[in-house]
């Protein structure tokens, strides 16, 4: 997951040029990737409270709070979701386990630090492999709540705007030569100066929902990076998640309520 996120953030170069995941290597290609060998492992256990929605022997579903990183970075070595999961899976239930096999949390998707909401975590390599394939094949349903600036006139619609990365500025942005990106939206409620939306990403580009909302002139409240007003948090919440169980194939559906700290 660490290397995957380095690639997503533009830290991988092929023949001197930044390349994203999915690039097909050719014979003779020179691949460079900057790895922080001094970084503390994400497997360092920390007793941090997690809101577990569902759990069985293969997977668990949790509701990640806004402000929590998924895994350590160069600047943040602790307090992340993976630190918390390492403790929860290996130490919080030690008396209930029949063996001392180390359980490595398998993250098959991620949420930004400022985004809250539902995530599925695999508890063994086989479940991780199957769920990863489901995500790649777009068999997973994801929907978000977002409070955006201003009043959107349409009841629903689709935002279709390609997303690319400026290698020099190291930022993601809407650009004509970017990768295809599509988001469906539906208006749930309007207030005096903002709109509560349901967002459904058709594709899964980095910062897609934030960029797309800003692109149509309605940045997400709390998203000061893309034009939103300052607020206590980013008003983006992954509230619905559906997928096939990796063992028996049954369709599972989970929902999380609108956060109480969203503007009402």
From the list 112, 176, 223, 261, the catalytic residue is 112
183 Rama class: left (phi>0) / alpha (psi -120 to 50) / beta: beta
Cβ atoms of 45 and 91 within 8 Å: the answer is yes
112 catalytic per annotation:
yes
Enumerate residues 6+ apart whose C-beta is below 8 A from 131: 59, 106, 108, 120, 122, 243, 246
Beta bridge partners of 156: 186
Are β-strands 141-149 and 236-244 bridged in parallel, bridged antiparallel, or unpaired?
antiparallel
Give the rounded distance of the alpha carbon of 92 from its chain centre: 25
Closest CA to 120 of 67, 73, 53, 65: 53
Q: Are 132 and 255 in contact (CB under 8 A)?
A: no
Query: Are 238 and 117 spatial neighbours (Cβ–Cβ below 8 Å)?
Result: yes
Q: Kindly provide the residue ranges of all beta strands, DSSP E only, lying in 22-104, ordered along the sequence.
A: 31-33, 52-55, 59-64
And the tokens for 124? 């063994």
**Distance separating alpha carbons of residues 121 and 249, to the nearest angstrom:** 16
**Tokens matching residue 77:** 């070595």
What end-to-end distance do the CA atoms of the chain give, in Å? Answer: 36
Active site residues: 112
């Amino acid at each position: 997951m660490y290397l995957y996120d380095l690639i997503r953030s533009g830290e991988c170069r092929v023949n001197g040029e930044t390349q994203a995941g999915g690039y097909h290597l050719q014979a003779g290609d020179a691949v460079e990737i900057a790895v922080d060998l001094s970084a503390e492992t994400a497997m360092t256990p920390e007793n941090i409270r997690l809101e577990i929605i569902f759990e069985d022997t293969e997977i668990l579903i949790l509701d990640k709070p806004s402000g929590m990183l998924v895994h350590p970075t160069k600047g943040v070595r602790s307090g992340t979701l993976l630190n918390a999961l390492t403790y929860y899976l290996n130490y919080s239930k030690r008396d209930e386990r029949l063996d001392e096999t180390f359980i490595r949390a398998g993250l098959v998707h991620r949420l930004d630090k400022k985004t809250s909401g539902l995530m599925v975590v695999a508890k063994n390599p086989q479940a991780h492999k199957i769920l990863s394939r489901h995500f790649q094949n777009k068999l997973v349903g994801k929907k978000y709540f977002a409070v955006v600036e201003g009043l959107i006139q349409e009841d629903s619609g689709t935002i279709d705007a390609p997303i690319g990365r400026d290698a020099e500025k190291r930022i993601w942005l809407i650009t004509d030569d970017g990768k295809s990106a599509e988001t469906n939206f539906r208006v749930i409620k309007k207030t005096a100066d903002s709109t509560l939306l349901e967002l459904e990403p058709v594709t899964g580009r980095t910062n897609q929902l934030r960029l797309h909302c800003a692109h149509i002139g309605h940045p997400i409240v709390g998203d000061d990076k893309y034009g939103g007003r300052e607020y206590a948090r980013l008003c983006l919440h992954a509230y619905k998640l559906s997928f096939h169980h990796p063992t028996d194939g049954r369709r599972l559906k989970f929902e999380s309520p609108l956060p109480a700290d969203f503007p009402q």
